[in-house]
Amino acid sequence: MMYWLLNLVLALLLAPVLFGVINKVKAFFAGRKGPRLMQTWYDIFKLLRKGSVYSTSSTWIFKFAPVGTLAALFIAMLFLPLGFCSSPLGFQGDALLFLYMLGLGRILTVLGALDTASSFEGMGAARELQFSVVSEGTMLLLLIFLAIQSSSCELNTMLCGRGNSFWMSAAPSMLLSAVALYVVLLTECCRVPVDDPETHLELTMIHEAMILDNSGPDLAFIHYGAGLKLWIFSAILTALVVPADLLSPWSALLVMTSGCFLTAVFVGITESMMARYRFLKVPQMLMGGFCVEFAALALLLISGGVK
């Protein structure tokens, strides 16, 4: 419990730093120095000191959306076994609640974007929802995969209670699952092959297009929420591939934190090596991730590795 709280505080503090790591890696590949590691924190503090501007045509939904999204992501994070320590809030079936909390965060962002009645934001919202159809399906398949492997529906057991030998007994399906989860991570966190967070052309944006009208503290909440989402998915990826039972609490903390930062480095390398896909090709990539996770599930059921 104490260790879990410590991990939670650490996650809340370090989540925006992940963007700093990604930007540093990209800057390294481009031969530049890049923004400072804590840049997202500086941006958030700067935005918090400013005031928000609301258009007269927008309603309370637009004001509520950023806070609501951040709250939904925070609640989702509370169910995760951060640092491989069991979350005290976990219960049987919390995996579904976790998935729907992520969905709630998404739908609030989308509603807030639609509420502005700006056509760019409408386009961004439509794309976000279109891509999420497949990526949420993949995430659900992954949760089913973990549930079968651990014979439990509680996120704590699903991620940390699978024993130490799952790499020995089900290596192929583990490998495929990790690939699929990485694709989901890139989609959900709006990283490069799906969306370019640095683009300044409204026509090609997805996530950035949805938050064009937000300003001040609202924008700070949105940036912070994006950091939390990236931390959530990197933590799941780390917990998926690392057998947890061997670790003492302190080494688990170290492994989880470095796993998240390593994921950020991988995202940075991916972004440096490839360009954003054109929109018609993105669903194809997402379908690929879905099929890979589907194959992983089928392999797990056939070749054993079920507890």
Residues interacting with another protein, by CB under 8 A? Answer: 168, 171-173, 175-176, 283-284, 287-288, 291-292, 294-295, 298-299, 301-304
- Encoded tokens for 279: 């929109």
d(CA 47, CA 13) in angstroms, rounded, equals 17
Residue whose CB is less far from another protein, 71 or 175: 175
CB of 177 vs another protein, minimal distance in Å: 12
Residue whose CB is less far from another protein, 243 or 283: 283
Residue whose CB is less far from another protein, 69 or 173: 173
CB of 303 vs another protein, minimal distance in Å: 5
CB of 81 vs another protein, minimal distance in Å: 27
Residue whose CB is less far from another protein, 230 or 282: 282
CB of 26 vs another protein, minimal distance in Å: 26
Contact call for residues 285 and 292 (beta carbons, < 8 A): no
Alpha helix (H) ranges present in the chain? 2-14, 17-30, 39-48, 60-78, 94-115, 119-150, 155-160, 166-169, 171-188, 207-210, 216-241, 249-273, 282-303
Burial class (CB in 10 A: 0-12, 13-18, 19+), 14: middle
CB of 191 vs another protein, minimal distance in Å: 21
Q: Is 259 helix (H, G, I), strand (E, B) or coil?
A: helix
Residue whose CB is less far from another protein, 164 or 284: 284
